[in-house]
Amino acid sequence: MSQTGNRVDQIYKQASSPADFAKNYLKYIGELAQTLDSNELQKFIELLLQKRKEKKTVFFIGNGGSAATASHFMNDLAVGTRTPELPFKAMSLTDNNAVMTCIANDWGYDKVFVKQLEPQMQSGDALVALSASGNSPNIIEAIHFAKKLGCTIVGISGFDGGKLKELSDIKLHVQTAKGEYGPVEDLHMVIDHLVSAYLCRKVLDEKR
């Protein structure tokens, strides 16, 4: 999708070869990485550690590429940290095709996350929402439900942040032109691996 000001379009047009495109795309990803708010990242890490201590659940949601990142994040947090004594309780609501298609068929796609949260989410849990645009209706519905229960909202967004950024308690935002899905989702995975890398080592320190 071509957008005015889209840096990836510009990088492509100016590239003399695939190698030149790759070099400048990676340079752009590095520039975006430098814009991530380390204070918000600290808040996110501290939240995950607190929810682990409280034995609360952290739910992950997203659409498309962000659905895959939600699954990956849940895997890295719940399994990758290897903490059977005091685990991180995490659940990705993007993984059960039967449940998602049932809800979409019976209530509409806007309900695919909130209908999963209704019987499972409890006060004090946390919701991590991943969305490049920040405006997906099913994401926003889930956030409103979680807020009514007093749950903490972590918004991992892109573009201008959309409604997700406005509604989030912790805002992990990648500012880009609209339509730059690739760079935004690249940085969302960096956030996953950065956070998981810290938590793995934190847990290891606890065991020593």
Fold of the 37-207 domain: Rossmann fold (3.40.50)
Please tell me whether residue 126 adopts helix, strand or coil conformation. strand
CA 84 from chain centre, in angstroms, equals 24
C-beta separation of 199 from 52 below 8 A: no
- Residue pLDDT, tens place only, 82-138: 988 999 999 999 999 999 999 999 999 999 999 999 999 999 999 999 999 999 999
Name 131's bridge partners. Answer: 157
Q: What value does the mean pLDDT take over residues 192-200?
A: 97
Dihedral angle, C-alpha 40, 41, 43, 49, nearest 10 °: 170
- Residue pLDDT, tens place only, 44-97: 999 999 999 999 999 999 999 999 999 999 999 999 999 889 999 999 999 999
Nearest-angstrom CA–CA distance, 188 and 156: 7
**Domain chopping of the chain, boundaries:** 37-207
Nearest-angstrom CA–CA distance, 130 and 186: 12
What pLDDT was estimated at residue 3?
A: 44
What pLDDT was estimated at residue 168?
A: 98
Question: Which of 167 and 206 is assigned the larger pLDDT?
Answer: 167
Name 62's bridge partners. Answer: 130
Q: Look at strands 152-157 and 126-131 and give their pairing.
A: parallel
